[in-house]
């Protein structure tokens, strides 16, 4: 065989390998682990050992594999459990995000002023949890307790520099025209992205992926929870969708649920999953949107009801998580801004 032919076939083989490699990378399923740092009573600092040990169990599994995750911390946890927050939040593969202020609170029932004061205080508390001599972290992610928020919350988050809001559930709790979205999407009129937690259909019901929810509300055993996670991963891989799942250290940090968590991480890594923080997931979406030349975020304040389009000057009661009637300036609309009425 001539030298030219050898070079030709060598180049052809290299191209084939590159194509195969590229195809393999393209098929990576994106997984976003949202890990809630919780405590039996966030205001009791002596519980640091319980909180630290259960959280360490979860994080050691992913840290040993060099995987990324986002740790969601409430304002109470940041104030009273400073040591665990600092210890886990300072690691380079961990992102810290805000998980409301107090466990199971309902933001939608608070005034704008109260929400603003509490959210700012909680954000400042988390950002203050860093090792002396290192660069303070900036918190840009949020997920509300009980998935409760309203239009005021969006305004406050934007003013505080947040980049995403994970208070949504794919196909269950969503903004208008986004029922089918499983990737993050822009919140209209705000420079913030909505991040929908993944759901999985069980006997006709869309169940969102949260260990606390499936254990306490649905009564699933650890083995059933693992089956759900593995099935959802396979579904996400087939559909080219991200898998966004919530783990709570008090649920999955020990016992059978910890076993299910470990087994799922092992299963996903064996399938070449790409583990990303929530912020990375949003950045991936923004990059894809830019490639598709989608319209940029306008960043202007709402001036019309997102449900019917009627002008609504001064209205600020578009509530997420509970049913409301647009009474003030929306005479032809009697709908909720979201499909779902149960915030839990």
250 has pLDDT over 60: yes
342: alpha, beta or left, given left = phi > 0 and alpha = psi -120 to 50? Answer: beta
Question: Is the residue at 201 inside a domain?
Answer: yes
Domain holding 164, by residue range, is: 28-291
For range 67-87, the mean pLDDT = 90
Cα 209 to Cα 232: distance, rounded to the nearest angstrom: 9
Bridge partners (DSSP) of residue 278 are none
217 near 255, Cβ under 8 Å? no
For range 93-107, the mean pLDDT = 93
Question: Is the residue at 121 inside a domain?
Answer: yes
Question: Is the residue at 126 inside a domain?
Answer: yes
174 near 168, Cβ under 8 Å? yes
Residue 45's pLDDT band (cuts 50, 70, 90) = low
Residue 80's pLDDT band (cuts 50, 70, 90) = confident
226 has pLDDT over 60: yes
167 near 149, Cβ under 8 Å? yes
For range 239-268, the mean pLDDT = 97
pLDDT at res. 288: 83
pLDDT at res. 134: 66
For range 152-156, the mean pLDDT = 97
CATH number, domain containing residue 113:
3.20.20.370
Question: Is the residue at 344 inside a domain?
Answer: no
Question: Is the residue at 20 inside a domain?
Answer: no
Q: pTM of the prediction? A: 0.78
For range 313-342, the mean pLDDT = 37
Measured torsion, CA atoms of residues 185, 187, 191, 192, in degrees rounded to the nearest 10: -70
Q: What are the pLDDT digits (tens) for 209-224? A: 999 999 999 999 999 9
Task: State whether residue 165 is helix, strand or coil.
Answer: strand
Question: Is the residue at 19 inside a domain?
Answer: no
144 near 102, Cβ under 8 Å? no
**CA nearest to 154, candidates 121, 96, 108:** 108
Residue 83's pLDDT band (cuts 50, 70, 90) = confident
pLDDT at res. 8: 43
pLDDT at res. 137: 78
Question: Is the residue at 192 inside a domain?
Answer: yes
For range 115-120, the mean pLDDT = 96
137/53: higher pLDDT: 53
**Structural domain tally of the chain?**
1
pLDDT at res. 1: 52
Question: Is the residue at 95 inside a domain?
Answer: yes
């Amino acid at each position: 065989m001539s030298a030219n032919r050898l070079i030709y076939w060598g180049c052809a083989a290299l191209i084939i390998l590159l194509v195969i490699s590229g195809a393999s990378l393209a098929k990576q399923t994106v997984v976003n682990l949202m890990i809630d740092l919780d405590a039996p009573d966030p205001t009791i600092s002596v519980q640091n050992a319980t909180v630290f040990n259960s959280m360490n169990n979860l994080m050691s599994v992913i840290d040993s594999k060099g995987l990324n995750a986002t740790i969601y911390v409430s304002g109470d946890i940041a104030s009273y459990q400073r040591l665990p927050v600092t210890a886990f939040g300072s690691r380079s593969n961990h992102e810290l995000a805000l998980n409301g202020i107090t466990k199971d609170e309902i933001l939608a029932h608070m005034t704008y002023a109260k929400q603003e004061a509490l959210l700012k205080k909680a954000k400042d508390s988390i950002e203050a949890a860093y090792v002396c001599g290192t660069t303070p972290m900036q918190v840009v992610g949020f997920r509300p307790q009980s998935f409760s928020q309203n239009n005021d919350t969006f305004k406050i988050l934007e003013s505080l520099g947040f980049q995403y809001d994970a208070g949504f559930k794919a196909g269950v709790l969503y903004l208008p025209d986004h029922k089918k979205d499983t990737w993050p999407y822009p919140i209209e009129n705000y420079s913030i992205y909505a991040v929908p937690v993944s759901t999985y259909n069980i006997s006709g019901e869309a169940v969102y992926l949260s260990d606390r929810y499936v254990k306490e509300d649905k009564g699933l055993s650890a083995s059933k929870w693992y089956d759900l996670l593995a099935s959802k991963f396979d579904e996400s891989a087939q559909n080219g969708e991200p898998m966004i799942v919530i783990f709570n250290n008090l649920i999955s940090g020990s016992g059978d649920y910890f076993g299910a968590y470990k087994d799922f991480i092992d299963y996903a890594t064996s399938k070449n999953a790409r583990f990303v923080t929530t912020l990375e997931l949003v950045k991936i979406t923004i990059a894809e949107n830019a490639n598709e030349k989608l319209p940029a975020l306008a960043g202007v304040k709402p001036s019309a009801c997102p449900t019917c389009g009627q002008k609504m000057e001064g209205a600020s009661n578009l509530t997420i998580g509970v049913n409301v009637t647009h009474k003030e300036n929306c005479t032809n609309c009697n709908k909720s801004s979201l499909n779902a009425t149960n915030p839990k």
